[in-house]
């Protein structure tokens, strides 16, 4: 059975595409890419169909990742049917996603940084209105949390 995870942020051009790309690499490195499907989306519709932010693509490229294939999409209520786990970037995304959940839906919705045992703040800050350094910080947070998420998923797959 395929385990499906979707990363969600506000516009799907900064944080969630970074998480999607990082997670795919980590799963591939662990040999789990055939068992886990990864996607991303945004709660808003402003960027649907667009590529990731240029700063997102740049930070990914600087660290050996390729985000060039990303196209933004919106997270909608029907996405709960298509995912086993929805991982959001901050508490605002969490509230927005939970509002979309159909009554009685049991899809697991979690904050990404819950999977980083060293995290003190559970929100991944939105780097959109800042400079390149914010994207570097987001990538570091995402990498740390995604390592923990891979371990969490691996335990679920083994159960």
Q: Is 126 a catalytic residue?
A: yes
DSSP state letters, 29-83: HTT-TTTEEEEEEESS-TTTTPPPPHHHHHHHHHTT---TT----B--GGGGGG-
Q: Which two tokens stand for residue 156?
A: 């679920």
51 is catalytic: no
Q: Active-site residue among 73, 84, 126, 146?
A: 126
- Catalytic position from the list 9, 25, 53, 113: 9
Specify the DSSP element, H or E, that contains 137: helix 132-158
- Backbone phi, then psi, for 150, in 5-degree steps? -60, -45
Compute the distance between CA of residue 9 and CA of residue 40 in angstroms, rounded to an integer.
8
DSSP H or E segment with residue 17: helix 15-29
How many CA atoms does the CB half-sphere of 65 hold within 13 Å?
25
Cα–Cα distance, 40 to 87 (Å, whole number): 9
The catalytic residue among 14, 15, 55, 146 is 15
Q: Which residues are annotated as catalytic?
A: 9, 15, 126
């Amino acid at each position: 059975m395929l385990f499906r995870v979707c990363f969600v942020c506000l516009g799907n051009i900064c944080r969630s595409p970074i998480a999607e790309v990082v997670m795919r690499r980590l799963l591939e490195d662990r040999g789990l890419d055939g068992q886990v499907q990864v996607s991303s989306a945004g709660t808003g519709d402003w960027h649907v169909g667009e590529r990731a932010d240029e700063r997102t693509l740049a930070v990914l490229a600087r660290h050996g990742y390729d985000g060039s294939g990303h196209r933004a999409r919106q997270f909608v209520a029907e996405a709960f049917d298509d995912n086993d786990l929805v991982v959001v970037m901050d508490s605002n995304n969490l509230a927005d996603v939970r509002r979309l959940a159909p009554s009685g839906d049991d899809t697991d919705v979690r904050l990404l940084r819950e999977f980083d045992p060293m995290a003190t703040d559970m929100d991944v800050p939105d780097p959109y209105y800042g400079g390149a350094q914010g994207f570097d910080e987001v990538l570091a947070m995402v990498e740390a949390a995604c390592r923990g998420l891979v371990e969490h998923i691996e335990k679920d797959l083994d159960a």
